[in-house]
Structure 1
Amino acid sequence: ATPIATPNAHAIVVAPPVKPRVIRAESDTSTPIDRIADAPGIPVRGTPVPAGERFAPVGARLGRGKLVVAGGAIAVAVVAVMLVVRARSSDDAKPAAPPRRAAVVEPPAVVAPPPLPPEPVVEPEPDPTDGDEVAETSQPTTDIPVVGEGPCRLDVTTTPAGTLVLVDGQSIGPSPISIAGPCQKRRVDLTHPRYKAAQKFVTLDAAKPTAIDVMMTRPTHALQVITNPPGATISIGGRRAGTSPTVVQLMGFSGIDVKIERRGFETVTKRVYSKKPQDKLAVTLKRSLWK
């Protein structure tokens, strides 16, 4: 009981106790408040509820909160899935990057060795030997023709074959040949366009056949060698023959090498085939970096 103050200071009025209101939940499944209040050890707190209002069931309030949380989680998951799908779609829409080209590795530069000095210039010429000369050299000596009449006989053979034979100034024919005539002293002349002329004297004897075999020799020609610039060393057949300008002697109608050398110039080698008794060779030398 709570004391209530009155105008009379000497009087004390005791107010009757107030009975607590019992609020029941609308759901039958919830526990009534009065039962909760009656339960031992569970105090009931709170302000009185105005008339006509009721408390929501505790279970209903708890279930609604769970639904809200679950719905929020589902919404978040849906948004996340949409974002992932959109990201993949944007990645697929992007053009594929071009493949990287392999880097080209250039090989290291190779330094070429210095060039070797040039070899001497050799200008080959066709073999000047005539075909008829080879045929004449290899001509067999059997069945030699016999020219003239007389008790004595002279057989003439030469190298090369085909040399013209003259007896006492009279042309008989090419060698090899057999000449019949009087037994006396005879002069035999041998001529060939690419050889020196030869002459022999023989005395014929009827009791003993006479034969001569002559090796024809090449003529000697004079070759004048001129170089630009002058002062070059001239070698014939590997032997020094002088300094240009000069005149050298060589065998005519035969190929021979003429070597020309001068300091500061390229060496030149010429194959010379002289056809004239007085021949000429002119050479212009080229500068060389190696001498």
Structure 2
Amino acid sequence: MKIHVYLILFFIRIRITKSILNGVAVAEKEYPFFVCIELDSAVVCGGTIITPSVVVTGAHCVIQMDKEKTFIPVEINRLMVLAGTVTLDQSDQGYQESQVDNLIIHEKFNPLHGMLNNIAILDLTYDLLLDDWVNVAREPTELKNDWKQLVKNGTECTVMGFGYISVNKDLPTTLMKSLISISCPKDFIISGYTCAVMTSPKSGLCLGDLGSPVVCLGYVYGFISHSYLCQQEVLPVYILLFENYLDFLPISTDTASKISGAVVFTFFLIQLSEKTSSLFYSIF
């Protein structure tokens, strides 16, 4: 049976490759909340550690189309989550990995409607051991009322990812990062999102970077949802913000105490403009 993995991008038809172009190498322990998500041992997306046993990423990272052309989750035994490493080498001091025990895709995510509800949660088979190399994301709960001010136009943030580092499909030997600058037009109407551009005209995001955390002013504000992939031009990057979801925490005090104070995000519908169009690409 032949199965295609489909990824959905907005606005433009582009050639797919895999990661940050002309980025800078990430140091060990620099982003301990970052994970690499592999499908069949190949990098497909980044993700964020929310608790020792939960990772969040884009829903489009973990779906496929079957022979009846129906979108379904990928088989969880094909997924692997890698943490605490900037090289994906098992000999790295901080390296940890876990299979996925359960995959939760937002029930109202529909790839045919673009990136609406583009959120998935991966329940890990094994809890990650929190240390200097691996830790949960730090998010600005105490600054909630100021989020929009802190991520206003002109704010510099950092994105990261594995994969190709040039249009020639050269693979990196380490996790790469790049700066983006928050920059949204006044008529931007996609609720729950913000947008940014690469600060260097020679930098660009590619397929493997989607789902990766966005770090602004020392906090994780959301993740890369979609972008113009592998373009060395000043083109938008679209970021799913956690801002609207912090009051929706369906966990008990007992549950919270068991996860050592780790912050759990709960997500609800992100209403996108009906005018937003989407394009489909198949990865064989």
| Same fold? TM cut 0.5 | no
Q: TM-score, structure 2 length as denominator?
A: 0.19
- Larger-Rg structure: 1
Taking structure 1 as the reference length, the TM-score comes to 0.18
Higher RCO (CA 8 Å, separation ≥ 6 residues):
2
- Higher-helix-fraction structure: 1
